[in-house]
Structure 1
Amino acid sequence: MLLRPPALPRLPDGPARRRFRSWRRTRPFWAGTLLVLGGTELLVVPLSPVTVLVSLGLGGLAALGIGLALIAAGLFLWFLPSARHYVSVNALILSVLSFAATNLGGFLVGMALGIAGSAMGFGWTPRGDRTLAVALPAVLLTALAGPSADRAEAAEAPPGRPGPPVTASATPPSVTASRFSPHGFTLAGVSRLPTAEGRLKVIVLKMRAASLSDYRLRTRDGRAAGQLGLGARSLELRGEVTLHLTRFHGCLEGLLCLTFSPDTLPAPPVIPPFVFMTDVTAEQALVTADTITADGLELRALPGA
C-alpha cells in the first residue's frame, strides 16, 4: 500500500498578500525582477576578492557600473512604471554592451537576464494581451545566437545589390562628428574593400538613415602633397546607407566610450533603436547612400602634415 505524503499547508491569503498581488499586477514586476537579477549577476565577479578585481581591470569596473545601472532600471520598473519604455530601451543597450565591455556579459547569464527583462518591460501593458512582452525576449535572444559568419557573408555580397562600383582610397580619410545618430541601424559584419593597393579590411555598417552634427573630414590627396578638408554643420544620409570603416570610436549616449575595428568587432548583432554616439572619430574608407544632404558645406585645402 502506497502512502501519500501529507499535503503542504497553503499560506493564508491575508490582506498584506492581497495588497502585494494587487500592487504587482499594476507594473512590470517580473521584468524589473529579471533586471535586478541580471545586474546582481554582473556584480558577483567584480565584488569577489580584491585580487580577482585587479585581474579584471577595466572590465571589472564596467561590470560594476552596468550592474548597478541594471538594478536601478529594475527598481524604476517597479516604482515608476510610466517610464518603462525609456528605461527598458536604455537597459537593453547596457545589457548588449555588457558582452563587449565586461566579462562576456557575466558569462552570458547577466546579459541574457538583462535583455529578457528589458524586452518584457518594454512590451508590458497594464491589462490585456501580454504576447508582446513574452515574444520580445525570445526574438532578441534568438538573434543574439545567430552566427556571425552569416553576417560577414552578407556584407561581402548583399542580396539584390551589387558591391561598391568605385575603388576606395588605400589610406582612409579621418572623420570627426560631435554626434552620430543612426536610424534602422544593423551591424553587417566585416568585409574586404578593393583599393588601388589591394583589399582593405573594413567594418560594414548598414542603416536606413543617419544624421551627423559638426561633420569634419580630412583626407590626403594622392596627386598633391597637401590635404583636403570637408566640413558641414550637419550631414543627413538617407536610403540604403552603408559605411565602410577601418576604425570607429565614440561615446554611447555620451556615457560609455568604445573603440571598434575589424579585428575587435563586438559579437552581439542586436543594436537597439534610439542609439546615438557623441565625440565620434573614425577612419572612413567609403560611404554610400541614396541621398546625402549637407548644411553649411565647405571644402578647403589644408597644409600637408
Structure 2
Amino acid sequence: MARTAVFFHAHPDDEALLTAGTMAMLASEGHRVVLVVATAGERGLADLPHGDELAEARTTELYASAAALGVARVVLLGYGDSGLGEGGAIGDDRPPNAFIDADIEEAAQRLAAVLKEESADLLTIYDPAGGYGHPDHVQVYRVGQRAAGIAGTPILLEATVNRDPLLRGLRLAQRFYRFPPEFDVRSFERAYSPGEVITHRVNVRRFAKVKRASMAAHASQATGGDGDRTLAVMLRIPGPLYRLIFGTEWYVRRDLPPGARLGHPFDELPETGEAEVAEEAS
C-alpha cells in the first residue's frame, strides 16, 4: 500500500546530506514523497552574494535535487535563513523573518496544514540538538514535533547520524583527503546521536548514485570562501568509500524502545513489542 512521507528540512542541500537515499528508496517503492524546506538558504556560504540572488540559485538547485530523488511535491515555507555566526551562534545580522525567530505555533500550523493536506503517514525532522547544532535545524525539531502533534501524523522520525560509524568513516577519509579548514572532524564527537538511541538504520547503498546526484545538484554549496567546501570533498570520494560512508541513513523514533533495530521507515516492531536488538557492525 502506497503511503505518504513528508521530509522537513531547514535549507536546500540538507535533504541531500541526511535523507536523500531514504527519499529515493520510498519514491522507487511507489510512495509519495513530499519535501518541505523552511528557508531558501540565502545566507549560506557561497560565491554568490547573500540575498535574493543566492536564494534563487539555491531554490533552483533544490528542485533539481528533488527531481533526481523522485519527489512528488516541494513546499517552501518562506522563512529567512537565520545564518550561522561564530561558534555556531545565531547570526546577529539575520533577517526580520528569520526562521529561528518564527513563532513555533504559527510555523507548526503551516507545516501541519501540509501534513493534513497530504494525509501524511510519516514526518521526518532532526534530533533535538539539530544534528551539528545549526539554530535553524534546532527550530526544525521544535516546529516539526509540534506540527506532527497538531496533524496527528502517526510516525515521527528524527533524521540524524550514528556518530560512531560516522567518525570511523571520516577518519578513514582523512587519510586520503584534506578537508577544508572549516571542517573539524573532532566536532562530530559531540554532534548527532549515539548509536544506542537510534531505532532505524536504512540501507540506501542501492541509491548511492542518486544520492550523489542530489548532492551534486547543490553546486552553489560546493565552493565559497577560500575554496572547495565539504560538499565538494564528499563528491570526490570514490564510489566504494562513498557507499560505505553514505550508504546508511539513521533515524530515531521516540515512541519505540532504544535498541530497536528497524530497516525501513514504515517498519513496526512485532506485536509482542519486543525489539530486535543487535550490535552495530564494526
Q: Name the one with the larger strand percent.
A: 1
Fold shared per TM-score above 0.5: no
TM-score, normalization by structure 1: 0.23
Higher relative contact order (CA 8 A, sep 6+): 2
